[in-house]
Structure 1
Amino acid sequence: MDDSIERIPEPKPITYQRSVSFDEALSMTKFGKINYILIIISGTILTSVLLETLGISYVIPVAECDLLLTTKEKGVLSAVAFAGIIASSHLWGFLADTLGRKKVIVPTLILTFTATVISSFTTSFWIITILRFFAGFFISGSSATIYAYLGEFHNKRDGSRAIMGASFVFGMGCLLLPGIAFSVINQEWEYAIPFMNIIYRPWRLFLVVCGLPSLVCAFVLLKFPESPRFVLNQGDVDKTIETIQWMHTLNTNGREAKLRISSIRDEVEAQQTKFRRSESSDTKGITALMKLMWNQTAPLFMTPYLNNTVIVCILQFGIYLTSNGMYMFFPDILNRVAEIQESGLNRTTICNAVYTTQVNIRMLETNLSQTIPECNQKLDIMAYEHSFILELLYALGFAVIGLIINAVGKLPILVYVFVSCGLSAILIIFIDIPLLSVWLYLILLTCGFCISVVNAVTVDLFPTTLRAMAICISLMFGRLGSVVGANMVGLLLDTQCELTFWISGVSLILCGMLSFFIPNIYKRSTSEPRASVSSR
């Protein structure tokens, strides 16, 4: 009788019988815990880049006697990290697009921390210069690749907001930099290490503190999978579905049934990836590596991507020319303005203050051999105050841009920031009210807002197979702008001060005009859905 009882068949799991697109699959994961953690980690990695490149500016004044630095050597030490970034940008872009985003980000973060820690124990200018070069060399791998990694965990609707969210975290991290420097460097202690023949002072500890975010982010990312879009383009659909299911489970805290996706449609760019891999499969060794690098880079400078590449590279160059180039001399110029005000002259332009104080600087340089240099182990509080105000502006600006970028689009943001900053640079030349000039200078330096917006544009303009390389190359041109800008200001400031501000102002306004020529910028700025608070 038991045999006659019909067994009730078990219910089959619900599956999506149709083939879903990758963007649809990401939309099914919801926006939750994983997305927020990735945004925070990405912003922290971007902060690490700032700490490794600009944090040294807090160290140089107080490490002068420990490292026996001359003025020329200070300039070299200030720029050497950017040289490392420029030298490695192409390599990391290639490796990220061929080996994977995570396989580049995690090792380079660990290597950056290692180089930074070792540099804190050096007593030789040349050794610390080499180590700072390698710190920039390695941090370049994660600084550009993280944009592609973050964007590829989000659908088209949320990608730009996620990048701007990471930029907001970056802004908050920058806001903490002056406070960290003040709390660490301005301590009064020292510890002798006889077997290394060094005296460990607060500035050395500050270098280690600047490297800690890199190490922490590396360990956190070990728990995360490779970019699902990259994995899909490599042809591993099953692993892509597994990653998407993992995201959905954690984002919903397991309250919803497991996603059942039968397949994800193979995209055109995935087919392009397979084609490029097959092209070089018949060669081995160095020849294959060089051919792969050529295949990965050449499309960016050919149709249909040449126009996109040229535009984003020019924009990044123009932004960094001012945001970093003019920033390197920001404290020095403010000190000169303060010196003029202390002398009783309250109506003067910034450039007149530079010219007036230059006479005193030359007198000090002439009599340098007759004086005993004083080793300052602390920085003046004014340096921290001005840096704090600038970073506060960045934090607030990134927050506002992140909230409005979907509503107003990228083009209005780019044009507004470029033009307002450019006009501020030109007004500085004529304004003879020092306090107003200083605020205009601060506004000028906020052109760095556009860096993340242009990166978001780059993510939209290039396919997954070329995205990391495109961002790396565009940022390489940006860092080149930093080097050109810093040297330009150093060459012209004392004799042609007005020209430095004219160059910065006009170049930013031209960048604003160039923004109108970004392909499909009008379509993206009007068709993207409005960002909602609940979706975040």
Structure 2
Amino acid sequence: MKLLEKNGQASKDGDAMKILEDALTLCKFGKFHYLLLAATLCSIFAVMFISTTTSFVLPVAECDLKMNMMYKGLMNAIPFFGQIGVSVFTGFLADTFGRRKFLIAGNFGMFIGTVIEGSSQNYWMMLFIKLTEGILVSLGFCAISTMLSEFTPFAVRDRVLLVYSGFASFSLIVAAVLAWAALPLPIHWVIWEGYFELHAWNVYLYICSIWSLLAFILYYYLPESPKFLLSHGQEKEALEVLKTIYSMNTGNDRDSFPIKSFSTSGTLKPTDAKSLKKQLRSALKEVKELFRRPLLYRLLLSSFIIFAGLLVFTSFRLWYPQISTIIENYSKNNGESASFCVMITDYMEGLNKGQSVDAVKNATEPGICIPKLSGSETYMNGIILGFVTLIFVMISACLVKKVGQKILMFVILILSAICCGSLYWTYNSLVIAVLMSATCGLLQTALSLQYNLFVRIFPTTSRTLAVSIIMLIGRFGSLSGNILYPILLNMGCMAPFIATSLVALGLAGLVYFLPNVNKENKETGDK
């Protein structure tokens, strides 16, 4: 009897989601979605800038904040610790109480945090704010893609989610351009001598805070996801949201929207008001389903792929400026370029012989510290990397519908392995830069395709929690990769690059086991 009731409920839920997908198709893709994409872009910029801006600020602010190399490393890592600490908890709450609330709170919190970070006068103040910003990132990040996916018509969902992934690449370009414009400026404003002084890096962080403020304003005026509302029994509210989208996109009157209910009977069910206790109890039931087959299998597979992918991608991307500097300095010192391995080995041997000089060894001695400012090549490399990644993501957005996500992921991962492995035979610095940028771009595109996939293979009621768990494990991969990378580099010049190629090939093999969401959810779009 219970089985019959369960199957009957599943059938009703399937019918409701099928009607919702039809409703989103009728709403078309228009003004409302452009507004949603603008909010998504601003939010992604805010999230990415929390970690990206640090790499530009640290060289400039090393004397102002009295940082040595250990302090710099801690500053780079601390936002990840904040994200790891609360990401699963916030994902559970976003699935229980809605995506919009957390997007509003998270972006407003990031705005306040970045303004305070920009006002930092000492290292420990900035370190604490970075930790807080990591926590605030978790409030909003897990819900950004979920919100976008649940508002987008099925026919263009894959492409829109890849455009969303392109925003992350575009943020790297914008961060580098803003840094190039602001950080070289000779700014030193004394507001309160000895207590409050502003430099170019303070102004740079103030400028970067604008994105989270814009995201907060845009999300404040956007409605809650209709899929979230429907999955929580709020059919009337979900229908009102769809009417709003329909009116904005088509210009027709709200009352002319052809769908009147989400049931085959045509009757609109009244909203069942639930207490906080009932909402939490219902959410915990959905969490149990996440840890049962087949969802558990999908959760484990997605988590492993993201862990391995971010382990190689994040370390590769963050070490890219250092590798670029090694190659640049070798060419200057020797008057010519050499093979990739020769240049890396020369640098590592110099370190082992004690020939390198710590640029900030006197950072704590007033009057002696001279910051080693980034040159234009550092900013140019960041811009090139962002452009290459953006191009790959946009090409994938055009091909994903024709080729399919799984085949496209497989091809991209194979190409990234080839590009990375080819570095061993490369002599020209320009070719090295192209191959490293291509490797980063291809890996990020593959991760974007995978991310777009697992956003759709989990039910609406536990989707944000699943994304949070997967990204939590992925952040452990990012941390592990940055610890392992210098160890591998000491083992041999090509060790980290060979490891990256092997991981990419292994992930290409795992693509076979991923579900085909377009085939499984052909009728209902998403679960």
Q: 1:158-173, aligned counterparts within 5 Å? A: 158-173=156-171
Partner of 1:485: 481
| 1:315 equivalent among 305, 313, 332 | 305
Separation (CA, whole Å) in 1 of partners of 2:176 and 2:395: 22
Could you tell me how far 1:430 is from its partner in structure 2?
A: 3.9
Could you tell me how far 1:302 is from its partner in structure 2?
A: 2.0
Partner of 1:407: 402
SS of corresponding position for 1:65: coil
Partner of 2:438: 443
| 1:122 equivalent among 110, 120, 123 | 120
Could you tell me how far 1:437 is from its partner in structure 2?
A: 2.5
Q: What per-residue deviation string (whole Å, max 9, x for no partner) do you get for residues 342-394 of structure 1?
A: 23364533343222123444324489869985423742001011111111112
Partner of 1:396: 391
Could you tell me how far 1:409 is from its partner in structure 2?
A: 1.1
Partner of 1:9: none
SS of corresponding position for 1:200: strand
Could you tell me how far 1:490 is from its partner in structure 2?
A: 2.7
Separation (CA, whole Å) in 2 of partners of 1:222 and 1:198: 33
Partner of 1:333: 323
Q: What per-residue deviation string (whole Å, max 9, x for no partner) do you get for residues 492-529 of structure 1?
A: 3244332211221111111111111002368379x79x
Partner of 2:181: 183
Aligned partners of 2:362 and 2:368 also within 8 Å: no
Could you tell me how far 1:324 is from its partner in structure 2?
A: 1.4
Partner of 1:419: 414
| 1:224 equivalent among 207, 222, 225 | 222
Aligned partners of 2:392 and 2:445 also within 8 Å: yes
Partner of 1:138: 136
Aligned partners of 1:168 and 1:402 also within 8 Å: no
| 2:355 equivalent among 338, 345, 363 | 363
SS of corresponding position for 1:325: helix
Question: Percent identity at matched positions?
Answer: 22
Change (3 A) 1:436 1:60: same
Could you tell me how far 1:450 is from its partner in structure 2?
A: 2.1
What residue identity is the alignment partner of 1:349? S
What residue identity is the alignment partner of 1:56? T
Change (3 A) 1:298 1:77: farther
Could you tell me how far 1:300 is from its partner in structure 2?
A: 2.6
1:234 aligns with 2:232: yes
Partner of 2:493: 497
Aligned partners of 1:85 and 1:137 also within 8 Å: yes
Q: What per-residue deviation string (whole Å, max 9, x for no partner) do you get for residues 192-242 of structure 1?
A: 132661321010111222222111111111111100110111111111111
Aligned partners of 1:319 and 1:508 also within 8 Å: yes
Could you tell me how far 1:438 is from its partner in structure 2?
A: 2.5
| 1:456 equivalent among 452, 459, 466 | 452
Unaligned runs of 5+ in 2: 1-14
SS of corresponding position for 2:334: coil
What residue identity is the alignment partner of 2:488? L
What residue identity is the alignment partner of 1:218? F
Aligned partners of 1:147 and 1:163 also within 8 Å: yes
Q: 1:277-296, aligned counterparts within 5 Å? A: 281=278, 295-296=285-286
Greater Cα shift, 461-470 or 136-145: 136-145
Partner of 1:40: 38
TM-score w.r.t. structure 1 length? 0.86
**Larger Rg over CA atoms:** 1
Change (3 A) 1:319 1:40: farther
Separation (CA, whole Å) in 1 of partners of 2:379 and 2:162: 26
Could you tell me how far 1:307 is from its partner in structure 2?
A: 1.4
What residue identity is the alignment partner of 1:507? V
Change (3 A) 1:370 1:201: closer
| 1:299 equivalent among 271, 279, 289 | 289
1:516 aligns with 2:506: no
Partner of 1:349: 339
Aligned partners of 2:456 and 2:517 also within 8 Å: no
Could you tell me how far 1:458 is from its partner in structure 2?
A: 1.0
Could you tell me how far 1:179 is from its partner in structure 2?
A: 0.8
Aligned partners of 2:68 and 2:361 also within 8 Å: no
Separation (CA, whole Å) in 2 of partners of 1:265 and 1:406: 30
Q: 1:73-112, aligned counterparts within 5 Å? A: 73-112=71-110
Aligned partners of 1:147 and 1:455 also within 8 Å: no
Partner of 1:284: none
SS of corresponding position for 1:199: strand
1:379 aligns with 2:377: no
Change (3 A) 1:349 1:483: farther
TM-score w.r.t. structure 2 length? 0.87
Separation (CA, whole Å) in 2 of partners of 1:368 and 1:54: 21
Aligned partners of 1:411 and 1:522 also within 8 Å: no
Could you tell me how far 1:294 is from its partner in structure 2?
A: 5.2
Change (3 A) 1:340 1:245: same
Could you tell me how far 1:127 is from its partner in structure 2?
A: 2.2
Change (3 A) 1:437 1:237: same
Separation (CA, whole Å) in 2 of partners of 1:333 and 1:355: 11
Greater Cα shift, 342-351 or 140-149: 342-351
Change (3 A) 1:356 1:198: farther
Unaligned runs of 5+ in 1: 1-17, 282-287, 529-536
What residue identity is the alignment partner of 1:150? L
What residue identity is the alignment partner of 2:511? S
Aligned partners of 2:330 and 2:337 also within 8 Å: no
Aligned partners of 2:362 and 2:369 also within 8 Å: no
What is the number of residues matched between the two proteins?
497
SS of corresponding position for 2:152: coil
Aligned partners of 1:179 and 1:384 also within 8 Å: yes
Partner of 1:3: none
Aligned partners of 2:56 and 2:179 also within 8 Å: yes
SS of corresponding position for 1:188: coil
